[in-house]
């Protein structure tokens, strides 16, 4: 598969006013079209700053960011924001409408989408996140997971090429988290959407195509989940964790069970154990 | 200090067209020194229970006993201050409640409100900061200049500085990264042990409930549907899952494996180490004891 960079960061640095340290320090990497990229790091590692820069909420002091071939600057930003949708952490801070359908329509109204098309797009995107039964619900009747799915629908209705989830599941209960991730997975399978998920949930990152680990404003490591989870204890030192299946595999290793590779998903691990047993 | 709820019911907006039963027939005993986890989905009534634990709500039926105080319906409750000083609640996202100009003023507000002298309150503020893993240099800073994780810790320090005997934690680690989560949970656990506190943890995390609690109470639709030790609660994971509840990862994994292999391990294991031993012996054909 040929990889086309859809977002490029070229020696990007950013420093908040009044802070001595750089929030991002000379960061260079590409994000490819159609991939699911997880950016992980502990609180304060620079990952949320990255989200703000990608959407032009802040501008880098040094370096350049290119989105869909367009250099990001103050004149191109409106164009770029049409291509990048963003879902934030707090479900309550991003619900602007008085009902579910109003909330999704808000962005479309801002862009002057004709009414008929708007109705269609609101329906479609709410259907995809399984919220089309609740069109007239008011936000206070919704769970956190439902609100986040409405936020995702609102973003998707604008048909962006890229969606950024900035810790979009971290305030949800396990059920809400699963609902939101399922919605994202459905959307991704249907079209060539690029997903950038900024998270400290390693179980969530495990499902991505590629992971970037941030530490102290720099890219610490980059690779597939296999590569990243092989970092093992280093991840814990970075304030992160290792996924359950890796912990389980390690504990089994101590009991003398040899597995084919370091990182296996839970399903893969179960299958290997099954094979292991039938060969005994 | 012992706390007990017996047959407690609470109706929001009672005797209005908007009346709604939030909890009913809830009976829970929390003897002094217990670490109890209260589990349930959003809307299960656990937050309503939580607010009865220091008399923020008064039951519409039943009795709440907090130490030697009895809180019943239709009675005037005077001077609840001592109760509220002894039962400290760390609400969800407690950093949203920070309001003072400096960290120190914010932490000493609670204790001084309960009549502690300023000098003593300052002493407590320093100690509380140490517990939550922050340095004294932060005392003079504005809480709003801190990172999210630091703000959370300052807010927790404000509750600790009241030196409660019972501490109620409503999802205390929501939104924190894995390291922050572990540090905060371990801190509460060591305080629980060192000071002989009662701890009530309201959580979605079956992991935390299994790891820290000695009693688990599960709520659904305003009622207690299960209570017991972690071993008792998780001994029937299928039942929990039927009720739409999660089970710890390690239990879920065991079920997945048992299904694939078509054999049962004979008991439910709550730690990775124990499970790995049982699995190793199963797949290498060893005989289990």
Extract the tokens encoding A108.
């479309």
Mean pLDDT of B109-121: 94
Q: Do A270 and B260 touch (CB under 8 A)?
A: yes
pLDDT confidence band for B286 (50 / 70 / 90): low
Cβ(A159)–Cβ(A80) under 8 Å? no
Residue B190 has pLDDT above 80, yes or no: yes
Catalytic residue (choose from A35, A101, A167, A179): A167
Write the CA distances from B172 to A262, B94, B152, B156, B202, integer angstroms. Answer: 33, 8, 9, 9, 8
Residues from chain A contacting residue B257 (CB–CB below 8 Å): 270, 273-274
Alpha helices (runs of H) in B6-75, residue ranges in sequence order:
46-52
Using CB atoms, pick whichever of B179, B204, B253 lies closest to residue A173.
B204
A64 tagged catalytic: no
Task: Please enumerate, as own/partner, the contacts of B117-126 that have beta carbons within 8 Å and a separation of 24 or more.
Answer: B121/B161, B124/B160, B124/B161, B124/B163, B125/B157, B125/B161
Instruction: Specify the domain boundaries for CATH 3.40.50.300 within chain A.
Output: 5-240
pLDDT at site B164: 95
Mean pLDDT of A201-227: 92
pLDDT at site B52: 95
Residue B288 has pLDDT above 60, yes or no: no
Q: Which residue has the higher pLDDT, B129 or A142?
A: B129
DSSP assignment, residue B19? -
Using CB atoms, pick whichever of A89, A266, A271 lies closest to residue B253.
A266
Rounded to whole angstroms, the Cα distance separating B113 from B258 reads 56
What residues does each domain of chain B span? 248-289
Rg (CA), chain A: 20
DSSP assignment, residue B136? G
Q: Which chain B residue is nearest to residue A236, measuring alpha carbons?
A: B179
From chain A residues 101-130, the ones with a CB under 8 A of any chain B CB are none
From A20, A14, A30, A7, select the one nearest A63 (Cα to Cα): A14
Looking at chain A, the whole-number percentage of residues with pLDDT higher than 70 is 99
pLDDT at site A43: 81
Residues from chain A contacting residue B43 (CB–CB below 8 Å): 143
Residue B284 has pLDDT above 70, yes or no: yes
Using CB atoms, pick whichever of A171, A240, A252 lies closest to residue B175.
A171
Mean pLDDT of A106-117: 91
pLDDT at site A3: 80
Beta-sheet strands, E only, within A72-190: 84-87, 162-166
Mean pLDDT of A60-86: 93
Q: Do B250 and A175 touch (CB under 8 A)?
A: no
* Poorest-pLDDT segment among A152-161, B72-81, B121-130: B72-81
Mean pLDDT of A246-255: 92
pLDDT at site B287: 47
The domain A5-240 belongs to what CATH superfamily? P-loop containing nucleotide triphosphate hydrolases (3.40.50.300)
Rounded to whole angstroms, the Cα distance separating B252 from B231 reads 15
Q: Do A270 and B256 touch (CB under 8 A)?
A: yes
Extract the tokens encoding B31.
């003897």
Residue B289 has pLDDT above 90, yes or no: no
Residue A105 has pLDDT above 60, yes or no: yes
Preferred mutation among A240, A253, A255, A256 to probe B, highest tally of B CBs within 10 A: A255
**Contact status of A20 with chain B (Cβ, < 8 Å):** no
Strand order in the sheet with A62-67: A24-32, A5-14, A62-67, A70-71
Cβ(A83)–Cβ(A178) under 8 Å? no
Rounded to whole angstroms, the Cα distance separating B215 from B205 reads 14
Extract the tokens encoding B132.
């939550």
User: How confident is the model over B10-27, as pLDDT tens digits?
Assistant: 998 888 888 889 999 999
Helix (H, G, I), strand (E, B) or coil at A125: helix
Q: Which chain B residue is nearest to residue A177, measuring alpha carbons?
A: B204
Q: How far is A117 from chain B (nearest CA, A)?
A: 35
**Contact status of A167 with chain B (Cβ, < 8 Å):** yes
Q: Do A276 and B246 touch (CB under 8 A)?
A: no
From A80, A32, A56, select the one nearest A210 (Cα to Cα): A32
CB atoms within 10 A of CB A66: 17
Alpha helices (runs of H) in chain B, residue ranges in sequence order:
46-52, 81-86, 103-113, 118-131, 148-160, 178-194, 206-212, 230-234, 237-242, 249-261, 272-283
Contacts of B196 (CB under 8 A, 6+ apart): B32, B33
User: How confident is the model over B217-276, as pLDDT tens digits?
Assistant: 999 999 999 999 999 999 999 988 888 788 999 999 999 999 998 888 989 999 999 999
Q: Do B179 and A273 touch (CB under 8 A)?
A: no
pLDDT at site A130: 86
Is the ipTM higher than 0.90? The answer is no
Q: Which chain A residue is nearest to residue B183, measuring alpha carbons?
A: A239
Cβ(A72)–Cβ(A66) under 8 Å? yes
Q: Which chain B residue is nearest to residue A242, measuring alpha carbons?
A: B178
User: How confident is the model over A114-126, as pLDDT tens digits?
Assistant: 999 999 999 988 9
Mean pLDDT of chain A: 89
Mean pLDDT of chain B: 91
Q: How many CB pairs under 8 A join A and B?
A: 100
pLDDT at site A141: 81
* Poorest-pLDDT segment among A176-185, B264-273, B274-283: A176-185
Q: Do A277 and B149 touch (CB under 8 A)?
A: no
Mean pLDDT of A145-168: 90
Q: Which residue has the higher pLDDT, B38 or A55?
A: B38
Q: Do A280 and B283 touch (CB under 8 A)?
A: yes
Q: Do A254 and B257 touch (CB under 8 A)?
A: no
Q: Which chain B residue is nearest to residue A270, measuring alpha carbons?
A: B257
Q: How far is B186 from chain A (nearest CA, A)?
A: 15
Chain B residues with a Cβ under 8 Å from any Cβ in chain A = 41-43, 147-149, 174-180, 204-205, 244, 246, 249-250, 253, 256-257, 260-261, 272-273, 275-277, 279-285
pLDDT at site A2: 58
From B263, B256, B245, select the one nearest A245 (Cα to Cα): B256
């Amino acid at each position: 598969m040929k990889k086309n960079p859809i977002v490029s960061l070229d020696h990007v640095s950013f420093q908040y006013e009044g802070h001595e340290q750089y929030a991002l320090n000379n960061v260079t990497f590409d994000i490819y079209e159609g991939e699911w990229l997880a950016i992980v790091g502990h609180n304060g590692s620079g990952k949320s700053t990255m989200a703000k820069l990608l959407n032009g909420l802040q501008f880098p002091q040094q370096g350049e960011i290119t989105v869909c071939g367009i250099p990001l600057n103050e004149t191109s930003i409106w164009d770029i924001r049409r291509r990048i949708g963003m879902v934030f952490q707090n479900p309550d801070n991003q619900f602007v409408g008085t009902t579910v359908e109003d909330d999704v329509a808000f962005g479309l109204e801002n862009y002057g989408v004709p009414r008929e098309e708007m109705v269609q797009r609101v329906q479609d995107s709410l259907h995809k996140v399984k919220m089309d039964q609740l069109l007239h619900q008011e936000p206070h009747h919704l769970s956190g997971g439902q609100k986040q799915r409405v936020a995702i629908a609102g973003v998707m209705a604008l048909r962006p090429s890229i969606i950024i989830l900035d810790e979009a599941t971290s305030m949800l209960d396990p059920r809400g988290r699963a609902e939101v991730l399922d919605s994202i997975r459905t959307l991704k399978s249907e079209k060539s959407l690029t997903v950038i998920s900024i998270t400290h949930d390693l179980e969530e990152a495990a499902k991505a195509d590629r992971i970037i680990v941030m530490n102290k404003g720099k890219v610490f490591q980059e690779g597939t989940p296999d590569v990243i989870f092989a970092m093992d204890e280093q991840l814990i030192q970075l304030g992160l964790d290792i996924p359950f299946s890796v912990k389980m595999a390690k504990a089994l290793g101590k009991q003398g069970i040899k597995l084919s590779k370091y990182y296996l998903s839970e399903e893969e691990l179960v299958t290997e154990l099954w094979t292991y047993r039938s060969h005994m | 200090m012992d706390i007990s709820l017996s047959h407690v019911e609470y109706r929001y907006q009672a005797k209005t067209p908007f009346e709604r039963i939030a909890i009913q027939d809830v009976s829970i005993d929390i003897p002094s020194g217990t670490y109890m986890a209260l589990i349930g989905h959003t809307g299960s009534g656990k937050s309503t229970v939580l607010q009865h634990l220091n008399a923020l709500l008064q039951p519409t039926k039943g009795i709440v006993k907090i130490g030697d105080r009895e809180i019943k319906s239709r009675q005037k409750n005077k001077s609840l201050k001592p109760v509220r000083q002894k039962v400290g609640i760390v609400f969800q996202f407690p950093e949203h409640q920070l309001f003072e100009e400096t960290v120190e003023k914010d932490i000493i507000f609670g204790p001084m409100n309960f009549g502690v002298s300023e000098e003593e309150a300052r002493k407590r503020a320093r100690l509380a900061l140490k517990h939550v893993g922050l340095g004294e240099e932060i005392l003079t800073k504005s809480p709003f200049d801190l990172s999210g994780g630091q703000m959370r810790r300052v807010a927790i320090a404000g509750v600790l500085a009241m030196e409660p005997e019972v501490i109620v934690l409503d999802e205390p680690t929501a939104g924190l990264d894995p390291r922050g989560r572990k540090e905060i949970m371990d801190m509460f656990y060591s305080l629980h042990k060192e000071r002989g506190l009662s701890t009530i943890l309201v959580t979605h995390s079956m992991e935390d409930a299994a790891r820290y609690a000695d009693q688990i109470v599960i709520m659904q639709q305003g009622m207690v549907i299960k209570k017991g030790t972690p071993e008792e609660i998780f001994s029937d994971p299928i039942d929990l899952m039927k009720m739409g509840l999660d089970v710890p990862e390690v239990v879920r994994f065991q079920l997945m494996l048992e299904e694939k292999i078509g054999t049962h391990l004979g008991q439910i294991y709550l730690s990775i180490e124990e499970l790995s031993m049982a699995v190793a012996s199963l797949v290498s054909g060893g005989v289990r004891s």
